[in-house]
Amino acid sequence: MGSVALPLLVVLTTRVLLIANPASRRGKRLIGRAEAAIVATGATCEVVRTERPGHAAEIARTRGAEFDRVLTLGGDGTAMEVAGALAFGPTPIGVLAGGTGNLLARALGIPMRVERAVPALLDGHQRRIDLGFVMGHHFAVAAGVGIDAAMVEETPVWLKRRLGVLAYTLIATRAALRAVLRRQFFEARIEADGEVIERRAAAVLFANFGAILENRISFGPEIAVDDGMLDCCVFSPRNLRDAMRIMWRVTRRDFRPDPSILYRKGTHFRLETQPVLTLQADGELLGPTPAEVTVEPLAVQLLVPRRRRET
């Protein structure tokens, strides 16, 4: 009898590039654990460590297309460098929490432990989301001025390394109380797709995600990461009572009309403040106002865990 040809079974191994920032809060000590977790899934892994600001973007731009997946290990700054470099490309990006706030990882429902996060991402869904763009930088979660920027600017490195995201919470609470009790408000002029808004404010946010910190804080109603728009949220407390009501509402997802809160959707914003303020984006201090804020619809492909409730 003649020989019978057997079908050739080809096993395709997922190739993963891990871009790790050893200068981030937990990055250096998690690199080995992240690499081991990737290999344990059956994937191959190449680790490249960043050496300076902007290096993550350079690595992603020159090497990203060689791999099936790119994972970042570091803070939100590292993740956004890679996301900006790979924007509008086919390579999906997974975010491993190695920084202080890890806003993007938390917003996507990614586990904080790399041993859980790696398989959840490599076996997860792919989802395209919008990116914001301001002062030459991309952001995924939110950009803004006021209390949130003060939080980023005033949180000392030693406190971030010791307490992690709790450090931001403590400093943000202090900044909010100081702004209200000392009446440290600012005049904001916002052009939102042609509409002019002028208000006295304690904070102005341009949000892409509707909630942060595992949905503990919600910025506003009907904020979607894939609608091709950003949501401008203006918080204008006049006194401590207003401030407490705002905090209650953002933690309880209570979006009823409120004289101290204003929401506007748009694709292009111009922000001017008096006095001049420093703007932050995803926890990175960028520069002084005025600022132009725009959206890049469905710019980046992200890996997200399965069975996650969409926000």
Nearest Cα to 57, choosing from 93, 29, 32? 93
Confidence of residue 165 (pLDDT cuts 50, 70, 90): low
Asked if 286 contacts 138 with a C-beta cutoff of 8 angstroms, the reply is: no
First to last CA, the chain: 62
> How confident is the model over 21-39, as a mean pLDDT?
91
Which pLDDT tens digit goes with each residue over 92-102? 999 999 987 78
- pLDDT computed for residue 9 by the predictor: 47
Question: pTM here?
Answer: 0.83
Lowest mean pLDDT among 28-37, 47-56, 138-147, 241-250: 241-250
User: Where exactly are the structural domains of the chain?
Assistant: 15-123, 139-296
Those residues whose C-beta lies under 8 Å from the C-beta of residue 32, and which sit 6 or more positions away, are none
One-character DSSP codes across 210-226: SEETTTTEE--TT--TT
Tokens of 309: 């409730």
Domain spanning 15-123, CATH class: alpha beta
The CATH number corresponding to 139-296 among 2.60.200.40, 2.60.40.1930, 1.10.3210.10, 2.40.50.140 equals: 2.60.200.40
pLDDT over 90 percentage in the chain: 61
Across the chain, mean pLDDT equals 85
Which pLDDT tens digit goes with each residue over 235-261? 988 888 888 888 888 878 888 889 999
Which pLDDT tens digit goes with each residue over 291-301? 999 999 999 99
Alpha-carbon Rg for the chain in angstroms: 21
Query: What's the CA gap between 205 and 219, in Å, rounded?
Result: 8
